[in-house]
Structure 1
Amino acid sequence: MPTFSEARRTILDHVSTTGIERVSLIDAIGRTLAEDMTAPWNMPPWDNSAMDGFAVRAGDCQAPQTLLKVTGYIPAGAIATSAVEAGCAIRIMTGAPIPPGADAVVPVEETEEDADSVKILEPVKARQHIRFAGEDIKTGDRVLAAGTAITPSAINMLASLGTALLPVFRRVRVAIVSTGDELVELGGQIGKGQIINSNALSLAAAVKEIGGEPVIVGIARDNRESHLHILQQGLQADVLITSAGVSAGDRDLVREILTELGAEQLFWKVDIKPGRPTAFAMKANTPIFSLPGNPVSSMITFEELVKPALLKMMGRKQVIAPLFKATLTEEIRKKPGRLHFLRVALERGKDGYLASSSGNQETGIVKTMIQADGLAMLPPDKALFAAGEQVDVHILNQDFLLEEA
């Protein structure tokens, strides 16, 4: 039975990126760049004014209260057709090209303008308030590297460089299969001993949240024929995730049927709690994740084992969530021997994060998953964690990192 780190390494070693497609710039948001992007021209493409004001010769403006003749006006989008002569200035707007002869711009608030002249109130430094051609990006520079997540600022840069279509890694298509005679689809009639197939919706939402394309295939009932039919459908996707049916009961058929369908099991069970009966297999290039049926176990194993793999398949370089230190506010006990993911509520203390149990840690208690801001990773070799002790926490609730309005 692999440790958590061993299991995650095995998974990441066996998955590879999806294909590449070209999408419009706005549709690339959140996607991952598949090729390096280089600049076809300088940014900015020409020397231009950073301020509304006056283009001048700095050498003419070394004494306070310098009076210059205004000989022209250049708005943004215009072309500089005349030069700044000695003793003269040209009125200029932000973004307008610097006219020949000028080597500085004086902001309008640092001047006093008359009908056809302007008084420069303070000495001027050469090159002030000018954005020079290529000072941001030079022709041929690598603007973005393959593997970069596309953000609004990346879109701004690429649009400025005339990019209309962007090569990105294809969204991973993830089939989701639930198993069990007790399951009823949302909206169906619920009889005694039956429950709604909530895991499928939770897993689909988690896939969609990170940019994948979830496909809810359906419920494999507790017989061989149903499992064969549903799992064969699921194997048509890039990735297959199953929920429940991987323990040792006589109706837990998932691993057996997957083996019949040609899947190679790479591990079954992981040395963690919750989520021990998690399995991982490959059929050709298709990864197969078989997760526990308990809702919390399903969500945690997705977060810790499946999500990094899906991110890698969609081209991300950074796929493992960073850990933060948090100080326990209460004593925590657990059985030694397994890495334990403790659902914790977090708050900010004066010296960093404070963590406390979010409530009942049983794997069927979804409420404490909702109330959890993160997962504290309690090492396998310890049983007692004292109040005041620091632990590593994987933050789940990204809103927690934001400041209150």
Structure 2
Amino acid sequence: MKKISLVIFAAGLSSRFGRPKLLEEIGGKKIIEILFEKVAVIPFFKKYIVVRENDQMIKSIIPGEFIILENPHPQSGMSESVKIGIRSAFENSDGVMMIPGDQPLVTVKHLKDVINEFESSEYGIVATSCDNEIRNPAIFSIRYYKDLMEISGDSGGRGLFEKYKNDLKTVELDDCRMLEDLDYPDDLFKLKNLYNILGKGGPAHIPNTDIDNVSFVSALKLFSETPWKKINSVRVFAGKSSGLISAENVTSPIDYPSYRKSAMDGYAIDSVIFDSTEKFPIPLRIVGRVTAGKTEIKLENHDECVEIFTGGEIPAHADCVIKYEDAKRHGNIIKIGRMFKKGENIVEVGEDFRKDNLILKSGEIIRPAHISALSECMIKTVNVFKKIRISVISTGDELYGSGISGKIPDSTQPLLVNWLNKNYMVGIGRGICKDDVEEIKNRVVECSRDSDIIVITGGSGKSDHDLVRKALDKISKPVFNGVRIKPGKTITLYDMDGIPVFSISGLPVAALISLIHFINLFVEIMTGYREDNKIPGTLEAQISSNPSNTTIYIAMVEKDENGYRINPLPGKISGKISALLAGNAYIVIAEGKHIYKKGDFLEAYKGEW
């Protein structure tokens, strides 16, 4: 058996995160402690951890079986930690597994799979692959000691994957989200959600939990803890990415601008002329002309200037630009009537973006400004999440178009489909099914071939006439059956091989209101994008909750000089489209005895329906 040692890298400066990220807590445990627990069950030959010099907080929680190595120069990048780690780990080992300390989601199974592949093959490098990308965790053979000792910067050992691809074996990761790491504070919320799904090796359902008629809070928790199929990413042209969700952090590969340029049309001069004269106007001779772009022209003497246009490179020996209207021109001579400062009307190198500046965060909606920035920084493509495809099926013999004798128009499906149609999401109308178990089942199976979520309206109750649950019981397993929420209490969720299948009310408003939170939560879990749709305001009328249900009100929110005013609409709303036309927001009041009076301050959610 080969001797394989482990090196965990925990010496990063956490400069982008702003505080020691490995000490953040997920599920009541520090991130680095989660990784310690996972590697504890694997029989490594020796275990090492590289930390910053004098990092007592990390050192105090490192298990005793680890050999602690200190990195006195963490600012030198990942390569310095790699060299420190392998210098010790390769003393008596055949291979070394390298793991970053901020990957708490990687599973014990995957680590063992990488180790088994290294032990059973003759490959010198065994690494993790996912979505055509090769990553850590990886094991390097002793024969790559010299190569690893020669790396530089922040690349770690990744450069060796391509260089020695003929001696590389990869182990495919079942779910790329296992490699999510922690770079920015906003990443923490996403990591916590994913930990519930992936970090423990599977769903975190509480044994023997009653899944019938659950609370709204419990329903959201059960939904977030179910291991749904991931949403894959795809690389697209940056100019076509507006409105999609970024699947990667994008940094500038260059300084922009890459050269000093003029901010306007005028004349480039050397401001030193103002240090030697008090006489105005000062005459300068025009010795060249610079249009947009770079130039070889330079000023040879202080009494010279260059005509320049917006975007043109500032000539050598020039340090400010005079607007046309601040100079008088006679042939090739201009006269300046006031003093100018060094740097005036000049855009300096990197003034817009410095190399390695963050342009776009993973989980962020790509806006036109992002696309402009990507263009400036010469980034042609960006990795985005594929649009989330949500199929909507209506059921009921009573619906017009069911093929029976239905006379009632189906107003629910078009409402949901069009609400779901966003830049990053696609709502797909899949027609009407009769009240027939086999027809409903077959339609759901058909939709599952190209859908990320399936929504079925109507037939969601428990009577003999409501057949949706009977159909879904044949092809999927329930996550919860009914939620204590009004309107929309019949909402039920099934897991069909990793695809969420919702059975919801056939009444349009009840259907939409009960579904909104789950769709938004799904988007957040899968992509990291969290919609900021809360509106804090003052209540215009008294409302109360049902002690046994979460209650939802449609409301009209308007803004005046004192802020937002939230006016809840009276009456039952489950089937009233007019309520959606009259309101632009909704209020969620948790179950329990709650009374909110006029003038109370609370939060509403944007409706956008």
TM-score (norm 1): 0.89
Aligned match of 2:565: 354
Work out which of the residue numbers 339, 351, 365 in structure 1 matches 2:550: 339
Aligned match of 1:287: 500
Whether contact under 8 Å (2:231, 2:385) holds in the other structure is yes
Aligned match of 2:597: 386
Helix, strand or coil at the partner of 1:250: coil
Alpha-carbon distance between aligned partners in 1 of 2:316 and 2:432, rounded to the nearest angstrom: 73
Q: Percent of pairs identical after alignment?
A: 23
Aligned match of 1:369: 580
Aligned match of 2:194: none
Over the aligned positions, Cα root-mean-square deviation in angstroms equals 2.4
The yes-or-no answer on 1:245 pairing with 2:456 is no
Alignment gaps of 5+ in structure 2: 1-212
Q: Report the alpha carbon displacement of residue 333 of structure 1 after superposing the two structures with TM.
A: 4.5
128 and 113 in structure 1: CA distance in 2 versus 1, 3 angstrom threshold: same
Q: Report the alpha carbon displacement of residue 153 of structure 1 after superposing the two structures with TM.
A: 0.8
Cα deviations by residue, 1:248-288 (Å, 9 ceiling, x for unpaired): 11122222321211x22111222221111111221222111
Helix, strand or coil at the partner of 2:466: coil
Aligned match of 1:163: 379
Whether contact under 8 Å (2:362, 2:528) holds in the other structure is no
Residues 143-222 of structure 1: pairs in structure 2 closer than 5 A = 143-185=359-401, 194-222=407-435
Residues 104-143 of structure 1: pairs in structure 2 closer than 5 A = 104-143=320-359
Cα deviations by residue, 1:205-260 (Å, 9 ceiling, x for unpaired): 12213532333223232222222222222222221111122211112222232121
Alpha-carbon distance between aligned partners in 2 of 1:123 and 1:380, rounded to the nearest angstrom: 71
Residues 272-351 of structure 1: pairs in structure 2 closer than 5 A = 272-310=485-523, 312-313=525-526, 315-319=527-531, 321-351=532-562
Alpha-carbon distance between aligned partners in 1 of 2:420 and 2:608, rounded to the nearest angstrom: 16
Alpha-carbon distance between aligned partners in 2 of 1:373 and 1:59, rounded to the nearest angstrom: 61
40 and 392 in structure 1: CA distance in 2 versus 1, 3 angstrom threshold: closer
Aligned match of 2:470: 256
Alpha-carbon distance between aligned partners in 2 of 1:168 and 1:217, rounded to the nearest angstrom: 26
The yes-or-no answer on 1:395 pairing with 2:595 is no
Q: Report the alpha carbon displacement of residue 83 of structure 1 after superposing the two structures with TM.
A: 2.5
The yes-or-no answer on 1:88 pairing with 2:304 is yes
TM-score (norm 2): 0.60
Helix, strand or coil at the partner of 1:299: helix
Alpha-carbon distance between aligned partners in 1 of 2:257 and 2:217, rounded to the nearest angstrom: 47
Whether contact under 8 Å (1:69, 1:116) holds in the other structure is yes
Worse-superposed segment, 163-172 or 100-109:
163-172
Alpha-carbon distance between aligned partners in 1 of 2:561 and 2:447, rounded to the nearest angstrom: 49
Count of residue correspondences: 392
Work out which of the residue numbers 35, 44, 67 in structure 1 matches 2:257: 44
Q: Report the alpha carbon displacement of residue 49 of structure 1 after superposing the two structures with TM.
A: 0.6
Which structure shows the higher helix fraction?
2
AA aligned to 1:318 is R
Helix, strand or coil at the partner of 2:471: helix
Aligned match of 2:235: 22
Helix, strand or coil at the partner of 1:61: helix
Runs of 4+ in 1 over 4 A off after TM superposition: 188-191
Worse-superposed segment, 199-208 or 302-311:
302-311
Whether contact under 8 Å (1:47, 1:131) holds in the other structure is yes
